[in-house]
Amino acid sequence: MFKRGMTILLGASLLSACGASDREVIQLDYIEDQWNIESYTKEGEIVQIDEKKEVLKACEGDRTTELKGDVTVYQSVFAGRNGVVSSIDPYSMKVVTYLEGDERYVVCREDYTNQLMAETIDAFPDFVDTTEGISVSRFPSLHQTSSSSKDQLMDPDELNIDEVDMMPFRDTLLEIEPALFGELELELGGKTTRHPLTSFEPTGIERPRQQFAIGLDRNTSQPYILFSFFNERFVVQPLQLAELEDPASMEQHAFEGLSVDTIVEPGQLKEGEAVPLYTFHYMRDGERVTETMTVRFVGGTLLKEGEEPESMLEEWMPDQEDGPRVVSHRKPFDGNDLVYPDFIEIPTGESEQVMEVLKEAEPVNRKGEPADYRYLTLTDGWKGQSFEVSVKQRSKKLDIYLTDPLRDQTFKLSSKGAEVFLDIFPEYKES
């Protein structure tokens, strides 16, 4: 009897030890309710994707830096985080594209960047339609445009411009046949423009040719790039050079008396070759100047192991903080964005403090009364975790309980942990 009792106790101890890891408070995973994931048919119809984890974990394996063979692009999937749309969250968007060359590949773009990462895969997910694909050349081509397109350029109603008296140069209008991956760089008089003419990336949607031309602000004599996306109205971008001391400034040198001639020979561009595109004739310091604008195709490079993508909007967006995020909110993530004051978001430093406090919480078999801000959501990269928060007021302190609904397990913060938590989230003192 004694031996049997010892055996039972030993077995119970072993089971307890084996289950200890299951009681770790923080267990981040892909939380499907946090994400809206959709794709588009070739006709532009939206299709919801149910295999969310499959999309979110794409490109987390060993990276490849080369897409070999003639590539066929099958499908792109867009993942966006529901709930709080944060200006400091670098993991709010992910674009995943499935394509095939000599091998099967998945290519990913995170956040607002033109830097991609890729992974070789054995098979496509079940939702990828391989019955129809899009073959895209590795190199872009330039084409002349029709007279009707040039007439459209000269129509003032086609230029989407505020407070700019724009004069388009009719014969500068050209069309771009897109490439698989890369960008077109411009140089004027040997100086690179601040921004590329356009960028390319693999998509599962047939992309129409894009049109561009040169225009001039009659009031300031500053040149512009006129660009038409998907055959819609033209938009404009100042022709800025990278050598400007303040790249974000709109100040430019005046191009008095500017005229522009188109000199490019239409056809496919070779990678790295500077092709003469236009000649600019204008007055500078009382003398007539002629400068050549060239276009160069720069093939895209895939990020290597350990390299992180950089935002292409860094000039306009605040610096993004890497690290965990913690959000307290009154309503659950249900596909709708949460709006203030229904959520409380804290910066990375305080989020890290909360995460440390949670790690020290102890499992308990009780909980308190539901708090006003009932939910606490953690995110770190593409993964996350949610808790239901409850509180119990004692004579001199407030106990904080957090329940993981997926495990049906409640944890209680230590006294010190509760103090730190309430310093960061004083709103819970008022619950």
Quote the Cα angle for 169-174-177, to 5°: 160
Return the structure tokens found at 214.
């040169």
Mapping DSSP onto H, E and C, the string for the chain reads CHHHHHHHHHHHHHHHHHCHHHHCCCCCECCHHHEEEEEECCCCCEEECCCHHHHHCCCCCCEECCCCCCCEEEEEEEEEECCCCCCCCCCCEEEEEEEECCCEEEEEEECCCCCEEEEEECCCCCCCCCCCCEECCCCCEEEECCHHHHHHHCCHHHECCCCCCEEECHHHCEEEECCCCEEEEEEECCEEECCCCEEECCCCCCCCCEEEEEEEECCCCCEEEEEECCCCCEEEEECCECCCCCCCCCCCCCCEEEEEEECCCCEECCECCCEEEEEEEEEECCEEEEEEEEEEEEECCECCCCCCCCCCCCCCCCCCCCCCEEEEECCCCCCCCCCCCCEEECCHHHHHHHHHHHHCCEEECCCCEEEEEEEEEEEECCEEEEEEEEEEECCCCEEEEEEECCCCEEEECCHHHHHHHHHHCHHHHHC
pTM beyond cutoff 0.85: no
**How many angstroms separate the CA atoms of 53 and 30, rounded?**
6
Q: If pLDDT is split at 50, 70 and 90, which confidence band does 429 have?
A: confident
**Which of 4-18, 43-57, 178-192, 381-395 comes out lowest in average pLDDT?**
4-18
Q: What average pLDDT score do residues 85-100 get?
A: 73
Stretch 183-190: mean pLDDT = 92
Predicted local confidence at residue 295, as pLDDT: 97
- Average model confidence (pLDDT) for the chain? 84
pLDDT, position 356: 95
Confidence of residue 337 (pLDDT cuts 50, 70, 90): low
Across 57-72, average pLDDT: 93
Residue 309 scores a pLDDT above 70: yes
pLDDT at 357 over 90: yes
Tell me what the mean pLDDT of segment 270-278 comes to: 95
Q: How confident is the model at residue 320 (pLDDT cuts 50, 70, 90)?
A: low
The yes-or-no verdict on residue 259 having pLDDT over 70 is yes
Q: Name the DSSP letter for residue 229.
A: S
The predicted-structure confidence for 141-165, as pLDDT tens digits, reads as follows 999 999 988 988 888 777 766 678 8
**pLDDT, tens digit, for every residue of 164-181?**
888 999 999 999 999 999
